[in-house]
Amino acid sequence: MPVAIITGASKGLGRALAEALAARGWDLVLDARSAGPLKEAAEAVAGHGTRVTALPGDVTDAGHRAELVAAARTLGGVDLLVSNASALGAEPLVRLSDLPLKGLRRALEVNVVAALGLVQEALGPLRESPGGAVIAVSSDAAAEAYETWGGYGASKAALDQLAAVLGAEEPGLRVWAVDPGDMATDLYATAVPDDDEPRPAPVSVVPAFLRLLDERPASGRYAAPSLVEGR
């Protein structure tokens, strides 16, 4: 069975992706900082009959990243790496004039540095996989100038560029940066707690990610809503 590592998998998009891949027979290594919600998610995902390893920890910890890849090797290797764990930099979001530099550093550390560190750790087994792929979960804030989203958007823009260069440097892999679009997630609610406009559930964009895995288009940046509409 193919093996995927998914970070930030205890809830939201990460958990929805884990459920969908498990339903397709993928074995999984799941990461999140909170042990309780991660355990609950892993138990639910394992209900599909696949092997699931849940490792709570912080992706900025190099030792934790090594544990994730080692666990995947135990399951057979790494066929897919999904960098979904994200940090906002400020909760709720604030204008750049008020953005704590410590928060910006945290966003860059989680969204960019840790994502690259995990790729570096997993690159060997990814290259060995006949269908090795990396998905970097991006944001429209990486490309659009929304007030208060400057720090988070800058980190996601950096992640986009990192994914683009990785795709050029690793032609044997597929490297996709995916903007999932608006979703009703805890991260969004934390970012903008006063915005009570309804938003789609994360599970609604999962078909876009499955389409990438099924059709394996060229490495690049993709918008999940367009992939869903184009089916």
pLDDT of the chain along its 231 residues, tens only? 999 999 999 999 999 999 999 999 999 999 999 999 999 999 999 999 999 999 999 999 999 999 999 999 999 999 999 999 999 999 999 999 999 999 999 999 999 999 999 999 999 999 999 999 999 999 999 999 999 999 999 999 999 999 999 999 999 999 999 999 989 999 999 999 999 898 999 999 999 999 999 999 999 999 998 898 866
Domain count, the chain: 1
The dihedral over CA atoms of 78, 219, 156, 44, expressed in degrees to the nearest 10, equals -40
Transcribe 31-94 into DSSP letters: EES-HHHHHHHHHHHHTTSS-EEEEE--TT-HHHHHHHHHHHHHHT--SEEEE-----SSSS--
Residue in 223, 220, 124, 213 with CA at minimum distance from that of residue 166: 220
Residue count of the chain, please give it.
231
CATH number for position 217: 3.40.50.720
CA–CA distance, 6 with 20 (Å, rounded to integer): 12
Determine contact, residues 20/46, Cβ cutoff 8 Å: no
- Residues with active-site annotation: 138, 152, 156
Tokens of 138: 């991006």
Q: Show the domain range for 94.
A: 3-229
Determine contact, residues 66/55, Cβ cutoff 8 Å: no
Q: Tell me the one-letter amino acid at 175.
A: V
- The pLDDT of residue 231: 66
CA–CA distance, 44 with 172 (Å, rounded to integer): 33
136 sits in which H/E element: strand 133-137
Determine contact, residues 201/184, Cβ cutoff 8 Å: yes
